[in-house]
Amino acid sequence: MNNHLNVEIEFVDLGLIDYKEAWDYQERLFNRIIEDKQAGGNPAGGERLPNQLIFCEHPHVYTLGKSGNENNLLIHKEFLKEIRATYYKTNRGGDITYHGPGQIVGYPVIDLEDFGLGLRRYIELLEQAIIELLGHFGIASSLMDSATGVWLDADHPVKARKICAIGVRSSRFVTMHGFALNVNTDLDYFTYINPCGLDRRGVTSMEKELGTKQDFERVKEDLRVILLRRLRAAQGQ
């Protein structure tokens, strides 16, 4: 266990940002935190960087996890230009997913040792935070034994639909990438992929479930509060 715990969590809202630009931002922070750990918690440049909870939105983009199957992108890459979308192979876990406007994408770049968490418990923390948030809006959600993310009607063979995807990378207990919650997302873009490699499983959004476009900033603020509270509780603060 690291004897130089960094109890600070900084919230950063990058707004609408290109996927690769946000990925590069994460990578720089991720690598710096790992370098700090390798220096024994006493980096040459002075104080350790804070753990960061990053929120953003992306223009239309499809991303494939490191063990994903490219065949789950159901369109030719030339067609991406027609639908104003881009495509990236990433170093996160999971298969293919879509990011776009109206979706809260969360990238916690944190040292799990600061929070007394292992990777499995950390992913459970993300899942439970999303479930709690959706409950505030009257949406009952849960987990699915055979798939990642947060689902509605998870046990129903036909009605099951995903509302939040989760894909994380970790090294030396430092995390990057994270989750994507569909708030006011254009769900048509999911028709061009097998989301997370799952054939014939539905995808939904808060807007679709509640029948009206949601206050995006309110949802984002509520989720920020829930995540920070749960992380700090894990820290024992």
Enclosing H/E stretch for 221: helix 216-235
Q: Residue 35 is encoded by which pair of tokens?
A: 């370098």
Active site residue 196: yes
**3-state DSSP of 60-86:** CEEEECCCCCHHHECCCCCHHHHCCCE
Burial of 204 (0-12, 13-18, 19+ CB in 10 A): buried
Q: Residue 56 is encoded by which pair of tokens?
A: 């953003």
In Å, the largest CA–CA distance within the chain is 56
Q: Which of 196, 206, 227, 231 is catalytic?
A: 196
Q: Which of 61, 16, 15 is nearest to 186 (CA)?
A: 61
Q: State the pairing for strand pair 142-144/96-99.
A: unpaired
The end-to-end CA distance of the chain, in Å, is 18
Where in the sequence numbering do the catalytic residues fall?
196
